Chains A and B, each alone.
Chain A
Amino acid sequence: AQKVTQAQTEISVVEKEDVTLDCVYETRDTTYYLFWYKQPPSGELVFLIRRNSFDEQNEISGRYSWNFQKSTSSFNFTITASQVVDSAVYFCALFSGGGADGLTFGKGTHLIIQP
């Protein structure tokens, strides 16, 4: 069975602080993909990153960075120097087992950036 756990339901920080969103996943497959999506208040789902199970290199994109550790089954997301526009719900998701049935999502972390 596949499972994604985002233990942080809500995080509130002051603008310019760094913040890390945690994601822990479970799968028995050796080949899988991990994703992060952003859902701003407008409601659409915005793709942020895809990482496959064979690539454990950390990735940085501007103020965003991702730390993938297979040893702990984690795929954490860090926002550096947060901004009010980063306020959103962030979802971690897993694609595995051939994936015909799509993504398994965590429950999401609501990130609030206070000015």
Chain B
Amino acid sequence: NAGVTQTPKFRILKIGQSMTLQCAQDMNHNYMYWYRQDPGMGLKLIYYSVGAGITDKGEVPNGYNVSRSTTEDFPLRLELAAPSQTSVYFCASSPGEKLFFGSGTQLSVL
């Protein structure tokens, strides 16, 4: 019962580098989300998707891109990483109102 799987768990990037955070779910959920959590703050929505081929911006989308080519996968792309993107990233999926979260990716941009 894998649920929502995020990789990698930890990553250190240099300023200006790019990377993709992977997220996969095996529950056949239509809805998927990317959140970021900064110290002392709640989670803020970066991007979300209501189904394959459909994505939309959340509260803090700048500096990120997403794609949803399949129901299962929802990768988050960071282009030209900046120190402000140092955060913990959570992916989630949902069949409706209850979200199932991955275990998070801790990203540092130095």
Contacts and interface: CB of A to CB of B under 8 A. Distances in A.
Contact of A47 (B33, B35, B50, B98): B98
Size category, A interface: 20 to 34
A105 interface: yes
Given A43-B88, A43-B104, A107-B40, A102 B45 contact: yes
Interface size bucket, B side?
20 to 34
Contacts of B41: 107-108
B103 interface: yes
Contacts, number: 56
B101 interface: yes
A101 interface: yes
A7 interface: no
A105 B98 contact: no
Contacts of A9: 40
Given A45-B101, A91-B43, A100 B90 contact: no
A50 interface: yes
Main SS class of interface, A: loop
Interface string B94-105: 101111110110
Interface in A31-46: 33, 35, 43-45
A99 B92 CA distance: 14
A102 B103 contact: no
A101 B56 contact: yes
A13 interface: no
B101 A44 contact: yes
Interface of A: 4, 6, 9, 33, 35, 43-45, 47, 50, 91, 93, 95, 99-103, 105-108
